[in-house]
Structures are given as structure tokens and as C-alpha cells.
Amino acid sequence: MKTQARFYHAGCPVCISAEQTVAGALDPARFDVEVVHLGQSTQRLGEAEAAGVQSVPALVIDQQVFHINHGADLSALK
């Protein structure tokens, strides 16, 4: 069974670069990666907050949040 991974971002250059580099590097045989663009899917902001995401880009795997660089605070997307 694959591990669920969610990559949250807001579409900024830092986020796009992290998506291509980090999310793209995950082994597709081991991880089911979902990319969530919070700038376009604002209804999912609550989900990201509940997962512990404070800023984007961020990767959530097994309920662990990995904040990658700093593109924007989640509060800026509201």
C-alpha cells in the first residue's frame, strides 16, 4: 500500500520550484502524491491548517509536516 503525501503550495515561484524538485523526487511506487494549489483551492485551507501547515510550500507525509523554504504564510492566503 502506498503512503499518502500531500504537497501544499500557492503557485509562487518558490512553491513551483519545490513542487518540481521535492514532490517530483518522491518514489511513485511508494508514495501517492497529491498536489494542492491553495491559491486555487481555497476551500482546502482548513484541511492544510488542521494538518499543521503554517506556510507553503509544505509536504505532509504520515501526519508529519515538512515546511520547505518559505513562499507564503497560510494566513496570507485567506
Helices (H), the chain: 13-18, 24-25, 45-51
Q: In the prediction, which pLDDT does 35 show? A: 96
Low-confidence stretches of the chain (pLDDT beneath 50): none
Long-range contacts of 41-44 (CB under 8 A, 24+ apart): 42/77, 42/78
pLDDT, tens digit, for every residue of 56-73? 999 999 999 999 988 889
Between CA 76 and CA 20 the distance in angstroms is: 23
Name residue 56's beta-bridge partners.
72
